[in-house]
Amino acid sequence: MGMGVLGRDAADALARIGFDVAGWSSTPKSAAGIECFAGAAQLGAFLARTDVLVCLLPLTPQTRGILNRKTFTQLARDGKLGGPVIINAGRGGLQVEDDILAALDDGTLAAATLDVFGTEPLPADSPFWTHPKVTLSPHNAADTDPDAISVYVAEQMSAFERGEALINVVDRKFGY
């Protein structure tokens, strides 16, 4: 879920190593070798063919809580892992944490790998720490190199001063 810069990169990498990859986003996208779905009308079809759901969506009013029981029950149940699996490396607000725990406990989900949470850092008493079907990761996949980010900021400032378009600008219409 999510076919922006991060989602597209992840989808391309998974496809290159042999996974049957599909992508879903709020607006239509295309990617060579990847079946793409878009919008609410195609979400069900995307979920029905997906047994490992990787979520890299931005957090917007439309995506808040999208990882919920309704979503989990629509996932394909015929995958090689014995049931649907979710991986959320997007934002904590995308997931309904009580729904994840309940779905893991009743078998709706076979496993979950979570990188983000509604409350961060994750409280010491969270059941995610000890749940046997949960893998936690520390949300530090991208390390910012101080030299590289300094060059990037300087290039953005120079482009602004020249009246050129900036890159990676938040679009308030989309909320990210």
Catalytic entry in 64, 69, 131, 139: 139
SS3 46: helix
Question: Which of 69, 23, 21 lies closest to 43, judged by CA?
Answer: 23
DSSP secondary structure, 69-110, as one string: HHHHHTS-S-STTSS-EEEE-S-GGGB-HHHHHHHHHHTS-S
Catalytic entry in 8, 69, 91, 162: 91
Q: Is 91 a catalytic residue?
A: yes
CA dihedral for 136, 142, 145, 146, sign (positive or negative): negative
Q: Is 77 a catalytic residue?
A: no
Strands 35-38 and 52-55, how do they pair?
A: unpaired
Catalytic residue numbers read 91, 139
